Amino acid sequence: MKRYRIMVIGNNVTTVQRVSNYCLKQDAEVFPYYYIPTLEEITLFAPHVLILCLPISNKFQHEVPQPYILWSEQPMNDRPPLATTFTELSACLQKFL
Q: How far lies 24's CA from each of 18, 40, 55, in Å?
A: 10, 24, 22
For residue range 59-97, list pLDDT tens digits in order. Answer: 887 788 788 999 988 766 665 668 888 999 999 898 877
| Whether 89 contacts 22, CB under 8 Å | yes
3-12, 28-37, 60-69, 78-87 — which is least confidently predicted?
Answer: 78-87
Rounded percentage of the chain residues whose pLDDT exceeds 70 = 92
